[in-house]
Chain A
Amino acid sequence: MVSVRLEKVTKRFGKVVAINNVSLEIEDGKLYVLLGPSGGGKTTTLYLIAGIYKPTSGRVYFDEKDVTDLTPAERNVGLVFQNYALYPHMKVYDNIAFPLRLRKEPKSKIDSKVHEVAKFLRIENLLDRYPHQLSGGQQQRVALARALVKEPSVLLLDEPLSNLDALLRVYIRAELKRMQQDLGITSVYVTHDQSEALAIADKIVVINKGVVQQEGTPEQIYENPRNVFVATFIGNPPMNIVKGSVLEDGTIETTGSRLTPPAAMAEKIRKLGLKTILMAFRPENAVVSEHPMEGKFSPLGELFEVEPLGRDAVVTVTVGEFVIKVVMPTKEAMKLRIGSKVYVNIDPNTIKYFDPNTELNLEYIEA
């Protein structure tokens, strides 16, 4: 097991900059998730760690060892591709044994290792089948077995669940997390699914436009996004964003309602000289009701739609030019009338403030 370090890594494909000056440290034995929209550079980052791509500039380290110029094989990484990339003409046994045979390990040792990993992943009964005879979930396990059998220093997973159906995905997700903890293997997991990332990550690295947007624990990322992109990418539904103007007395006015920010925040806003500001809050930190609630920031809007999702419902309210989504108990939500005037009661302590120009969270700015 090793830690992985990217140092000012840039990767260009012709004129396109896929990864721009990324520095990143992946701790030994931890599960890191690279999260971002497609085309954001997360798979490129993974391939740079694997050695499939060579950085245009910058270095890659495994522990203290510079591996920038090493081949994928010399780095000893295990990689599970999104499409599994099993060898279609080989049986499952030979697929798993392939990396060991290339290392010229003795036959008996190969045999025991293949059976060991197959048993671990519960695919022992599939060893003499061909990949096309397996289901998607089984193929996925075989790909995982092939990656694990060589006891890699780093396990790399490129959207490993995206080809499975929704139900299976949730099961295998838990299994992957358990397996990673049992083996204590340094892992990098790429996904565009924020709920998947929140569910399994020790740490999440949000990547977009070739740049790391934020790095932190799932909790940090969820509770305190560093910028507007992260705020609107994480969460289902994501954070609501409302624009307001800062008045002379330090209060913020939006769509006819006034909010007094906490004193420290008001001070920061004043120091930065912001005239307008973006306020963001999570859908679960607000309640929609027919009357304004005590101690809340309650802009008035019109109820657009209610979508019951079992226990909770997503309530959509239009407040001025903004569309706000609130998650609240279905029972409460069903009492509201579509098209009626309602108040969105936001817990003021959960509101995050962003600079509209830099789109940065003010909590991350020194003023």
Chain B
Amino acid sequence: MMPETTDVETINRRRMNVVLGVAVLLASSPILISYFVLIASSFTNQMITGGIMGQLIFTLQNWVLFFEGKLTVTAASVLSFWNILHYILNTFIVAFGVMIVVTVLATLAGYACSRMRFKGRKFLIQLLILLHAFPGVSLIIAVYALYIFSKQPLPQNLWTFYAFLYVIVARAALEVPMDVWIMKGFFDKVPWEVEWSALIDGASRIKVWKDIILPLVKPGIAAIAIFSFMAGWGALIYVMVFLPATEKTLATYIAGLLAGGSLEVVHLPIVAAAGTFYLIPTLAFFTFVRRYMLQTSLSGIKG
């Protein structure tokens, strides 16, 4: 039987969608299964792994224990609810700190790289890409040395505050080059004429930037905000190296549970609960910012 469509260029849309859907599902199945195991395990009495499906019991106990700071069902608490809350707060401080520093710097620098003509501009832009290619870990010794030197003159009661500041700035520094590059691309798409129009209408340079240019690059800002938030939220090595041992974030807390022999002691579903909780803000933040990412429209300007 002949297919209904005879046009050469027409692909059967519905069949195409089914094929694509299955392909995407297959390709992402390892990740989907991992997340499923993690999230489901946090609500059961033991880890969901092969062969024991029959003995699973639904429970919220893991979540209660996680917030109480317990690592096993029976043993006494090493930590309290306040410690966990403290870690969560620390994670937010680092994540939002990195996000703010990166977003502000990358937006300003991206504008400069896109719009201003200065000496060495081209070289700088090429350097940005190169900088991004350096893994952050390779810099850690130098960054640590700088940390030790710079913190000496400060009074001791400021050291914790300085440690946070240092982690945020150091972690942000790794993100900035790529995000400057991304923002430059967004600024490049805004035609000069729009800026000139506003200048002729009587706006100051700052006002043009704030009221005309920024709204047009909102999707870019949303994108780098997400990237940098996630970078801060997931920061592990820099947090471990610079923050004092008592100041953990969720990332270092969970990493700590899985490292150094504690794996045999802890009740893994509690770790699963911690891991699931660790996912929530990222998902929430992503959902919130996503609608700005798709909001791009430069029409009304014919090229």
Q: Which residues of A contact B (CB under 8 A)?
A: 50-52, 71-73, 77-79, 81-89, 98-99, 102-103, 130-132, 134, 136, 139, 146, 150, 163
Q: Out of A73, A77, A88, A163, name the residue touching B298 (CB < 8 Å).
A: A88
Compute how far the CA of A146 lies from the CA of B202 in the bound complex, rounded to whole angstroms. 12
B194 x A87 contact (CB < 8 A): yes
B200 x A139 contact (CB < 8 A): no
A84 x B202 contact (CB < 8 A): no
Q: List 13 A-B contacts (CB under 8 A).
A: A52-B199, A52-B200, A71-B199, A83-B193, A85-B193, A88-B297, A88-B298, A89-B216, A98-B198, A99-B202, A102-B202, A134-B300, A139-B300
B301 x A88 contact (CB < 8 A): yes
Q: Mark B267-303, 1 if CB is under 8 A from A, else 0.
A: 0000000000000000000000000000001111111
A81 x B197 contact (CB < 8 A): yes
Q: Note all chain A residues with C-beta closer than 8 A to B193.
A: 81-83, 85
Which of B191, B200, B202: most chain A Cβ within 10 A? B200
Which of A84, A88, A98, A132: most chain B Cβ within 10 A? A88
Q: Note all chain B residues with C-beta closer than 8 A to A86.
A: 194, 197, 300-301
B191 x A85 contact (CB < 8 A): yes
Q: Note all chain A residues with C-beta closer than 8 A to B302.
A: 82-84, 136, 139, 163
Q: Note all chain B residues with C-beta closer than 8 A to A132.
A: 297, 299-300
Compute how far the CA of A130 lies from the CA of B245 in the bound complex, rounded to whole angstroms. 54
Which of B193, B198, B201, B202: most chain A Cβ within 10 A? B201
Q: Note all chain A residues with C-beta closer than 8 A to B299.
A: 88, 131-132
Compute how far the CA of A82 lies from the CA of B301 in the bound complex, rounded to whole angstroms. 9
In the complex, chain B residues 177-229 whose Cβ is within 8 Å of any chain A Cβ: 191, 193-194, 196-203, 207, 212, 215-216
A52 x B196 contact (CB < 8 A): yes
- Residue of chain A at shortest CB distance from B205: A71
Least CB distance from A134 to B in Å reads 7
Number of cross-chain contacts by CB at 8 Å:
85
Least CB distance from A100 to B in Å reads 9
B203 x A85 contact (CB < 8 A): no
CB contact under 8 A between A83 and B303, given known A89-B215, A89-B216, A132-B297: yes
Number of B residues, CB within 8 Å of A:
22
- Residue of chain A at shortest CB distance from B299: A132
Q: Note all chain B residues with C-beta closer than 8 A to A103.
A: 202
Q: Note all chain A residues with C-beta closer than 8 A to B212.
A: 87
Compute how far the CA of A98 lies from the CA of B299 in the bound complex, rounded to whole angstroms. 18
Which of B193, B207, B303: most chain A Cβ within 10 A? B193
Q: Mark B85-117, 1 if CB is under 8 A from A, else 0.
A: 000000000000000000000000000000000
Q: Note all chain A residues with C-beta closer than 8 A to B194.
A: 85-88
Q: Note all chain A residues with C-beta closer than 8 A to B303.
A: 83
Seed contacts A84-B301, A85-B301, A88-B301; 9 additional CB < 8 Å A-B pairs: A52-B199, A71-B199, A72-B199, A73-B202, A87-B198, A87-B300, A102-B202, A102-B203, A150-B201
Q: Note all chain B residues with C-beta closer than 8 A to A81.
A: 193, 196-197
Q: Note all chain A residues with C-beta closer than 8 A to B201.
A: 73, 98-99, 102, 146, 150
Compute how far the CA of A139 lies from the CA of B196 in the bound complex, rounded to whole angstroms. 17
Q: Note all chain B residues with C-beta closer than 8 A to A73.
A: 199-203
Q: Note all chain B residues with C-beta closer than 8 A to A84.
A: 300-302
Least CB distance from A212 to B in Å reads 24
Q: Note all chain A residues with C-beta closer than 8 A to B202.
A: 73, 99, 102-103, 150
Compute how far the CA of A129 lies from the CA of B202 in the bound complex, rounded to whole angstroms. 24
Q: Note all chain A residues with C-beta closer than 8 A to B216.
A: 88-89
Compute how far the CA of A339 lies from the CA of B92 in the bound complex, rounded to whole angstroms. 86
